[in-house]
Homo-oligomer: A and B are copies of this chain.
Amino acid sequence: MVKVGIVGGTGYTGVELMRLLARHDGVSLHAITSRKEAGMPVAEMYPSLRGHVDLAFSTPQDAQLQQCDVVFFATPNGIAMSEATALLDAGVRVIDLAADFRIRDVAEWEKWYGMSHASPALVAEAVYGLPEVNREAIRQARLIANPGCYPTAVQLGFLPLIEAGVVNAESLIADCKSGVSGAGRKAEVHALLCEAGDNFKAYGVAGHRHLPEIRQGLASAGGAPIGLTFVPHLTPMIRGIHATLYARLNRDVDVQALFEQRYAQERFVDVMPAGSLPETRSVRGGNTCRIAVHRPQGGDTVVVLSVIDNLVKGAAGQAIQNMNLMFGLPEGQGLDIVPLLP
């Protein structure tokens, strides 16, 4: 049994990790930390966990995380970079669900995240945890940078086109829509039901932190820099990301076959039949990314529709998929979930 700790379990990625780990046969949940809520039973804050998680939140000191095999950081940006070293030194493997280790160019990271990086050396060591790209490296990794939610949906949608070199990579467009849980469980006015409900808007048009992460991944896949316009939008639902991706084909190609071949062995990427229109609810609660490819009016603009649950394949589910790979467990263990529809 893999002994698991969670740092910062009071947010949505924290409770989602617990939801999934509670039904994972290969792990035991050792500790969940929260300085602020130390002592409170987890199930008191999240009654959905009553009968499933008996732990209380503990302080980092009491948690004795160095006894764990793996620790998940479900914390704000900037925490894991300060606390990971001690755990790694103690032989604990670390999966950071925040952004601390996602960007290899530390100066670029510092610019977008507005703080100095506490552990540049770890950035170089960290493996970007997108199994569909880095599976073998993940198996060997001590430290995983778990991808962002938008980057997961966008990269999985563009990868087959970029890897095959069949699109003009200088003018990609990613028009993305996210449920409000992407903003986390923070007391902020813009995420109130009365602000975000029955409403639709773009945000971060001038520049969103997931832009450099996506650019890095696609540039690596294509072997050359890419040009991307990324516009995220807030949509009045709880979970789900829908990425609508646009690229110009530079040659005639069977895009459906291209996607099917690329993901033929991927358990958590579902290339839907030609003509499909994936819905976010078709992956609600599950770890699957569903993708459909279109060429409207048969033209040279390819439109990729890619949906994930931002809290699962976009966060906690992918983190567990990475953990499974790191510990030699079946990649899908604990993730064999039928999405909740309706």
Known A188-B187, A189-B187; contact A342-B238, beta-carbon cutoff 8 A:
yes
Q: Is the CB of B173 within 8 A of A47?
A: no
Q: Which residue of B lies closest to A175 (CB)?
A: B175
Known A199-B237, A236-B193, A338-B19; contact A278-B49, beta-carbon cutoff 8 A:
no
Interface positions, chain A 13-56, Cβ under 8 Å from B, are: 15, 18-19, 22-23, 46-52
By size class, the interface of chain A is: 35 or more
Q: Is the CB of A229 within 8 A of B301?
A: yes
Q: Is the CB of B244 within 8 A of A202?
A: yes
Q: Which residue of B lies closest to A203 (CB)?
A: B277
Does any Cβ of B come within 8 Å of A114's Cβ? Answer: no
Q: Is the CB of B205 within 8 A of A342?
A: no
Does any Cβ of B come within 8 Å of A248's Cβ? Answer: yes
- Chain B hits for A283, CB < 8 A: 48
Interface positions, chain A 257-278, Cβ under 8 Å from B, are: 270, 272, 275-278
- B52, B239, B277, B282: the one contacting A342 at CB < 8 Å is B239
Does any Cβ of B come within 8 Å of A207's Cβ? Answer: yes
Q: Is the CB of A200 within 8 A of B47?
A: no
Q: Is the CB of B200 within 8 A of A229?
A: no
Known A205-B305, A238-B193; contact A200-B296, beta-carbon cutoff 8 A:
no
> How far apart are the CA atoms of A138 and B266 in the complex, in Å?
43
Known A229-B299, A229-B303, A294-B205; contact A339-B48, beta-carbon cutoff 8 A:
yes
| 9 CB-based A-B contacts, threshold 8 Å | A12-B342, A180-B194, A192-B192, A193-B193, A194-B342, A199-B237, A200-B237, A201-B278, A285-B340
Residues of A within 8 A of B (CB): 12, 15, 18-19, 22-23, 46-52, 171, 173, 175, 177, 179-181, 183, 185-189, 191-203, 205-207, 227, 229-231, 233, 235-240, 242, 244, 246, 248, 270, 272, 275-286, 288, 290, 294, 296-297, 299, 301, 303, 305, 307, 336-342
* 15 further A-B pairs in the complex, CB-CB below 8 A; given A48-B340, A202-B277: A19-B338, A47-B278, A47-B282, A51-B288, A171-B301, A175-B175, A179-B200, A187-B189, A193-B196, A193-B236, A195-B342, A197-B198, A199-B240, A202-B244, A205-B305
